[in-house]
Each structure stands twice: as structure tokens, then as C-alpha cells.
């Protein structure tokens, strides 16, 4: 079997480790919706990944539901995409273990996200945080997924997934796992922090002013964009003028992604505009696009049983794809089934 003989299938996931941000929406969810209906799509709430750092057990289920509500509110349709949470399909953990025995410690040591998260505290973080990329490879390869839409920050993990698939295929003299492609396209694959354009916007940043949350109301969104850090110069006349201006570039890219256009087109619309013009326009656009989604998320969160039902059904569908792949993997590795 060669790469091209695998049926095209998309898999991606989001951790329920905090509220969803504009980065998750533009870098992931909006692009997930764009792929739906064109190819088989599987989208997961990766709760087993969330617990690599401490999660309050009383909150975790609700955060899992909130990510699911974000998927649904943004336009993922459970009749067109498989939507489920990872821990309901035990194959993720099982294949993750097998991949722990394929991946090399040296590979994990090169993971920049682990280094960033562990910082100077690497001895004290969980073993799960260290092994996280091999569980991520299992998420993807348990479904023989061929494409993985992610933001720029996950590129290295998808490359590791390719290395794990290639080593497994090589060690066991098979071509069982596909060599998955990361899909990192569009204007906002790395949405930056609103207070520091050199840092990624993340769920866990210190100040709430750094990020737009998908549940922020209109006033809060407007305030955060108004206070977003910029340099004093107005917008340039061409996109090249953004190259050395990270904060300005970020706001233009956010505008472009929300509007489904390119940074070039945004600059053409606002050449030389001052921040007093551009920031309110950006805030209005963000409110227009995000308010219907956050309203729908709130509505869905009022009916947790319905979200649980959707995730339960999605898990059944996911299991039906995963089980034969896991069974065959066990056979290839030589694990006795009796
Ligand atoms: P997570 O939960 O940190 O982020 C979920 C998705 O959102 C994207 N993203 C961003 N995109 C652009 N700008 C940002 N500031 C930004 N912040 C987050 C991420 O790139 C990601 O696509 N390890 C993954 C979850 C995962 C996964 C998988 C993804 C587990 N298994 C299998 C794909 C396939 C993570 O922590 O994403």
C-alpha cells in the first residue's frame, strides 16, 4: 500500500483544558468546518490530552462539553462529521502505548512544545506530558487519517506522527499506517497574543486581555481589540510593510481570517488607515462573526444531555473505524488475542 491508496480522511482535535480562544477558532474550528462535506471528517475533544496537566475533575466534563458546543455552534454537523471525546474510545490509549514503544526518547526531547511547557520544571511535570506526542500520533493513526488540519504550533507533532508511522512500517515490514499530511493553510494559522505580538494567543496566558475567548460578549471583544498593543504607525500601503510589525500583522491577519479573505485584500481596503479606524472595524467584524457562535454555544450548554448524546453517538462511529485498525495493529506486533 502506498500513501495514495489510503482513503482520504481528516482527523483533528482540541484539548478541553480551558475556554476556546479566537486562536482555536481561526486556526482550527473554522477550518474544520471548511473541510466538512468534502471528505470524511473526524473531530475529537481530546480529554486524555487535557489531563497531562492537572484538571479539576469537577470541571473536566463541562469543559469537554464546551469544546463540543464550540464545534457544533461553529457549524460542525454530527450527521456529516464524527464528533466525540477521546476517552470514550479506548483504542487511543491502547495504540498510544504501542507508539510509546516505537517512538524514541530522543524524538520526544526535541519537541519544542514540551520544552516550552515544562520550562525549568521538566523533572516535575507528568510523564504523560512528555509522552503526549505519541498519544497524538495514536489519535491520528487509529483512523488511518491522511490529513490533519492544525495551527502552526502543532506542526512538529504531526511531523512526529509521520516519523512514528514510518518507523512502525519499517520495523514491522509493513505499509499499514499512512504518512499523514499536516494541513496548515489560510491567514491565521498562528494567532498572536493581543498584548505581545511575538507570543501565541493561548487558553492559558496570564491575562485575559491577551486573548479573545469564544464566549466573550461584544463589549469585552471591543475593549480587548481597542487595548490591543500596536506600534504607533498607521497600517502600511502594502502587506510587505507588515513584515517587521508583529502586532499590526496579527490584527490584519485576524481581520482577513474572520472575513475569509487575504491580508493583501485587507490592506487594499484600509491602506494607511490609523488604529482609530482599523481597530473599531476589526472589533465590529469580530462581534458580527463570533456573537452568533457564542450565543449558540450558550444555548447548547443549557442542554448538556443533548451534547452527551451527540458525543456518545460519535464515539460509537469512531469505535467502528478504530477497532479493526487496532486489531490489525495487535496482529502485526504479535500480541496474542485468544
Ligand atoms: P490545542 O488544544 O492546544 O489547540 C487546538 C487547535 O487550535 C490551534 N491553535 C491555534 N491556531 C492558531 N493560532 C493560535 N493562537 C492557536 N492556538 C491553538 C492548534 O494548532 C490546534 O490545531 N495537541 C493538540 C490537540 C491534539 C490533536 C490531536 C490535534 C491532540 N491530538 C490529533 C490534531 C490531531 C493541542 O494541544 O491543540
pLDDT in tens, 153-203: 999 999 999 999 999 999 999 999 999 999 999 999 999 999 999 999 998
The pLDDT-based confidence of 301 (bands split at 50, 70, 90) is very high
In contact, 48 and 92? CB cutoff 8 Å: yes
pLDDT at 4: 61
Smallest Cα–Cα separation from 150: which of 310, 312, 24, 289?
A: 24
Domains of the chain (ranges, CATH numbers): 3-183+303-333 (3.40.50.620), 208-298 (1.10.240.10)
Helix (H) or strand (E) holding 297: helix 275-301
Instruction: Judge whether residue 206 has pLDDT over 90.
Output: no
pLDDT at 119: 86
Q: Is the CB of 249 under 6 A from ligand 1?
A: no
- Average pLDDT for residues 95-120, to the nearest whole number? 94
Q: Is the CB of 28 under 6 A from ligand 1?
A: yes
- Average pLDDT for residues 226-231, to the nearest whole number? 96
pLDDT at 122: 85
For a mutational test of ligand 1's pocket, the pick from 9, 13, 35, 158, i.e. the residue with the most ligand atoms closer than 8 A to its C-beta, is 13
Instruction: Judge whether residue 3 has pLDDT over 60.
Output: no
Helix axes 91-100, 127-141, angle to 10 degrees: 110
Smallest Cα–Cα separation from 194: which of 216, 175, 173, 172?
A: 216
| List 15, 30, 115, 117, catalytic entry | 117
Amino acid at each position: 500500500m502506498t500513501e495514495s491508496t489510503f482513503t482520504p480522511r481528516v482527523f483533528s482535535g482540541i484539548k478541553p483544558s480551558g475556554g476556546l480562544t479566537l486562536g482555536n477558532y481561526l486556526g482550527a474550528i473554522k477550518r474544520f468546518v471548511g473541510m466538512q462535506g468534502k471528505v470524511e471528517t473526524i473531530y475529537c475533544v481530546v480529554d486524555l490530552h487535557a489531563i497531562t496537566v492537572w484538571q479539576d475533575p469537577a470541571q473536566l466534563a463541562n469543559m469537554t462539553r464546551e469544546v463540543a458546543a464550540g464545534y457544533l455552534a461553529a457549524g460542525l454537523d454530527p450527521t456529516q462529521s464524527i464528533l466525540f471525546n477521546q476517552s470514550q474510545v479506548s483504542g487511543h490509549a491502547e495504540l498510544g502505548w504501542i507508539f510509546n514503544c516505537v517512538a524514541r526518547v530522543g524524538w520526544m526531547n526535541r519537541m519544542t512544545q514540551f520544552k516550552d511547557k515544562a520550562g525549568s520544571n521538566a523533572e516535575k511535570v507528568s510523564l504523560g506530558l512528555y509522552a503526549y506526542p505519541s498519544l497524538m500520533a495514536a489519535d491520528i493513526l487509529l483512523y488511518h487519517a491522511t490529513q490533519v488540519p492544525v495551527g502552526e504550533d502543532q506542526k512538529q507533532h504531526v511531523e512526529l506522527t509521520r516519523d512514528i508511522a514510518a518507523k512502525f512500517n519499517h520495523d514491522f515490514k509493513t505499509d499499514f499506517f499512512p504518512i499523514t499530511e499536516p494541513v496548515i493553510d489560510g491567514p491565521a494559522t498562528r494567532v498572536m497574543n493581543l498584548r505581545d505580538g511575538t507570543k501565541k494567543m493561548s487558553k492559558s496566558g496570564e491575562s485575559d486581555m491577551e486573548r479573545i475567548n469564544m464566549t466573550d460578549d461584544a463589549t469585552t471583544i471591543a475593549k480587548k481589540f481597542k487595548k490591543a498593543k500596536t506600534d504607533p504607525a498607521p497600517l502600511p500601503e502594502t502587506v510587505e510593510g507588515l513584515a517587521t510589525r508583529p502586532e499590526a500583522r496579527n490584527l490584519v491577519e485576524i481581520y482577513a481570517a474572520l472575513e475569509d479573505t487575504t491580508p493583501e485584500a485587507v490592506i487594499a481596503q484600509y491602506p494607511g488607515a490609523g488604529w482609530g479606524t482599523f481597530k473599531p472595524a476589526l472589533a465590529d467584524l469580530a462581534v458580527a462573526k463570533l456573537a452568533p457562535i457564542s450565543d449558540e454555544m450558550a444555548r447548547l450548554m443549557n442542554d448538556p444531555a443533548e451534547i452527551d448524546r451527540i458525543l456518545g453517538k460519535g464515539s460509537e462511529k469512531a469505535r467502528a473505524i478504530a477497532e479493526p485498525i487496532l486489531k490489525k495493529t495487535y496482529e502485526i506486533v504479535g500480541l496474542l488475542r485468544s
